[in-house]
A and B are shown apart, each in its own frame.
Chain A
Amino acid sequence: MINVKYFDFHLKGKKPDSDLALINEAKRLGYHGVSIFYSNEQYNLALENFNKIINDETSPTHLKSFKIDDFSITPGIIIQGKNPHHLQKQIRSLRNKTNILMVDGGDLKINRAACENVKVDILSRPYYKRRDCGINHVLSREAAKNNVAIELCFNDLLKSRNSLRSKIIAHFRDIIKLQRKFHFPLLITSGARTIYDLRTPQDIMALYRCLGLNKEEILMAISVSPSFILDYNQQRKDMVVDGVKIIDEK
């Protein structure tokens, strides 16, 4: 039997204590790794806290994943762009500061700027506060070309009720339909702020099967795509352009 590694790629970081509780709960529920996101202002403080908690003194670099046993914790930065120009400026300044860069979507222009930028890893919730799913065939093609993953956030379903929940489900279905045609990376995440927002990987898989994803697609979204993003970003510093990599020094 193949050992599948489950990742929760969007935990919302707040305070050191609650973050640690969130991470421990994710570990208890059976995840093999999490990524916890902070705003640019909170990121340095969060890294210092992680260093203290894990007692790792060899960490002057920002590009770092922390490990507790086999459980990986990858801090990332979430960008909330005011407009495409502001977003691009933020991406340029923050790309070398962190391993994972996520853009908070919702506005169509922001969604487009994120999908067209090869330096972005994840576009979070493109459907947020919208009447449509936030991406179309053009953005899907760009996302596939630039390897920008589109996130489906479980917390949006959990925290909504009645008609709003049904609309979010309809947006998820639209994104899934586009993913099947254009093959951009899809991510299923919890978007948890507290330990009560977390669910086991099996529960998440069962839910998304109800929304129309099959088993392979869910495994791609919860296991393969996150691993790929982590591996790719580990190699990013050695890459000169897409397809050219420095591998050895002798």
Chain B
Amino acid sequence: MITPHNIFQHELIGLTVEIVESSHQGLEGIKGKVVDETRNTICLERPDGKEIVVAKSTSLFHFRIPEGLVVEIDGKVLVSRPEDRIKKKFRKI
């Protein structure tokens, strides 16, 4: 089950996401559903059906998890292949 405590290690495909900040200003405010993911990028499907590819490291995302919570994730945390991210260690604060 996806929770805010494991979302950064979890599979992201299928989640609803909004791009809040990006070095490419044209991408800011875009909402969509994650349909694909690589090491450095996320592929989003917008409500009009168009797919866009967004670089992770330069963006700030708001992910909505099925419980209804919104979690803000800095894209730098997500940079790694999904299958590798599960065994990556993260610094607790």
* Residues of chain A at the chain B interface (Cβ within 8 Å): 118-119, 236, 239-250
Assess whether A248 is in contact with B8, with CB atoms less than 8 Å apart. Answer: no
B70 at the interface (CB under 8 A from A): yes
A225 to B59, CA, bound (A): 24
- By secondary structure, the A interface counts as strand
Assess whether B73 is in contact with A244, with CB atoms less than 8 Å apart. Answer: yes
Which of chain B's residues have a CB closer than 8 A to the CB of A118? 91-93
Smallest beta-carbon distance A92→chain B, Å: 11
Assess whether B73 is in contact with A243, with CB atoms less than 8 Å apart. Answer: yes
Smallest beta-carbon distance B72→chain A, Å: 5
Q: How many pairs, one residue from A and one from B, have CB atoms within 8 Å of each other in the complex?
A: 53
Residue of B nearest to A118 (CB): B93
A119, A236, A242, A245: the one within 8 Å of B71 (CB): A245
A183 to B4, CA, bound (A): 31
18 A-B pairs within 8 Å (CB atoms) are namely: A118-B93, A240-B4, A240-B5, A241-B91, A241-B92, A242-B77, A242-B90, A242-B93, A243-B8, A243-B77, A244-B4, A244-B71, A244-B72, A244-B77, A245-B72, A246-B4, A250-B69, A250-B70
Which of chain B's residues have a CB closer than 8 A to the CB of A250? 68-70
B35 at the interface (CB under 8 A from A): no
Residue of B nearest to A146 (CB): B91
B76 at the interface (CB under 8 A from A): yes
Which of chain B's residues have a CB closer than 8 A to the CB of A247? 62, 70-72
List residues of B (54-89) whose CB comes within 8 Å of A's CBs. 62, 68-74, 76-77
Given contacts A118-B93, A241-B90, are A246 and B69 in contact (CB under 8 A)?
A: yes
Residue of B nearest to A246 (CB): B4
